[in-house]
A and B are shown apart, each in its own frame.
Chain A
Amino acid sequence: MNEEIITLDHGGGGQRTAQLIEELLLPAYGNPALNALGDGAVLDLEGPLAFSTDSFVVSPLFFPGGDIGKLAVCGTVNDLAMCGSVPKYLSLSMVLEEGLPLADLRKIVTSVAETAKRAGVQIVTGDTKVVERGKGDGVYLNTAGIGVLRWPGLTPDAIRPGDAVILSGTMGDHGVTVMLARSGLLEGSTLRSDCQPLHRLAQAALDCGGVRVLRDPTRGGVATTLNEFTENRPFSICLEEDALPVSPSVQAACDLLGLDPLYCANEGKLLAVVAPEKAEAVLAALKAAPGGENAAVIGHVSERHPGRVLLRTGLGGNRILTRLSGTQLPRIC
């Protein structure tokens, strides 16, 4: 059998590189700015702008609910959306490992194209390099993106005691799904990564007004992201254990492996801190938008214990939630 694979030639800048661009990349997500194939894209934009970048190194490349291509587009789109901007343009750099089946690359590129379309962004510049076999994990992707700022002033400094903390859906779906897919420790037929572009959910929330800050709780999970809000600031955030949305399968996997969903990664959820008088409207707007059905008010901002994130347990006790230290590992005790 002679399966088509990526070779060092594809990254050499010559014939094979051109072929890859013209036969695979342009047909998938070409647009006038990219099709010009200049050294960079020339864009006509009016500021202020938001600008963000992220690299993607997920293993396995394909997992229930997504793949590295979808992740790479969502990651940067979501960062731009959380800044209060409308995501417009992305760059996409690929580091491919020699021997990668071309069919896999094709699937990833298709996924990039579909996700970009869904998120309303164009991929206007990019780069491809190939590394020797054994020196990469199949594919590494980097995306950078530009968005036009529409809702300025989102910052944790705007948070005030009494504000509501809203999460747009269940916790930990991505982190747990990928961990199971990678380790084979458990099999979770009902688990899916939540990987999705958040621009619509962000817009739904921001159009209501009263949003102090938005953030997508990726690595480190909800608990770690909330600590970024409270650290060295004159307020705390207190979550209600009984209000935290977690899918039964994620909870079961966490119970088995001794993990905490509060510290598991999400790739399609946003956290919004909202002025109290707007909390109900933002919650309703999120619930009405696709992908926000399980949104919930999970806690409130308080003046007590400044700098901390606390969890009020069902029993009425308190637990301090610190940042994730190290990585979460399955445990038996």
Chain B
Amino acid sequence: MCLAIPMRLMEIDGNDAVAEVDGVRRKIRVDFIKEPKVGDYVIAHAGFAIERLQEQQALDNLEAIREVADAL
């Protein structure tokens, strides 16, 4: 279930937004994102942003995986 990928918000009009990934655009709804801004990254599933993606969290996530691997 639940194919979802990161997309960047390019335009926002109320709860409607245009999101893009590598030149591919799709109209999505951002009702579930608090104060969405152009330039924000979200995880999009079936035409809805289900969560915001933040750079620092992504870096921390990567770091956590690396730490486990490097301890091996």
Contact = CB atoms under 8 A, between A and B. Distances in A.
A180 B2 CA distance: 21
Nearest to A249: B23
B3 A331 contact: yes
Given A332-B45, A332-B46, A189 B2 contact: no
A255 B22 CA distance: 11
A190 B26 contact: no
B22 A252 contact: yes
B5 interface: yes
Contacts of A258: 3
B22 A251 contact: yes
B23 A191 contact: yes
Contacts of B5: 252, 255-256
Given A332-B45, A332-B46, A249 B3 contact: no
A189 B26 CA distance: 11
A333 B1 contact: yes
A101 interface: no
A187 B26 CA distance: 6
Interface in B4-44: 5, 21-26, 44
Nearest to A176: B24
Contacts of B46: 332
A186 interface: yes
A52 to B, nearest CB: 34
Contacts of A185: 26
Interface residues of A, number: 19
Contacts of B44: 256
Nearest to A331: B3
Interface string A306-333: 0000000000000000000000000111
A258 B26 CA distance: 15
A310 B2 CA distance: 27
Interface in A263-301: none
Contacts of B1: 332-333
A251 B23 CA distance: 10
B3 A186 contact: no
A107 to B, nearest CB: 26
A149 interface: no
A190 B26 CA distance: 13
Interface of A: 180, 185-191, 248-249, 251-253, 255-256, 258, 331-333
Interface of B: 1-3, 5, 21-26, 44-46
Given A188-B23, A252-B5, 20 more contacts: A186-B24, A188-B24, A188-B25, A190-B22, A249-B22, A249-B23, A249-B24, A252-B21, A253-B24, A255-B3, A255-B5, A256-B3, A256-B21, A331-B3, A332-B1, A332-B3, A332-B45, A332-B46, A333-B2, A333-B3
21 contacts: A180-B24, A185-B26, A186-B24, A186-B26, A187-B24, A188-B23, A188-B24, A189-B23, A189-B25, A190-B23, A191-B24, A252-B5, A252-B22, A252-B24, A256-B3, A256-B21, A256-B24, A258-B3, A331-B3, A333-B1, A333-B2
4 closest A-B pairs by CB: A190-B23, A252-B22, A248-B22, A249-B23
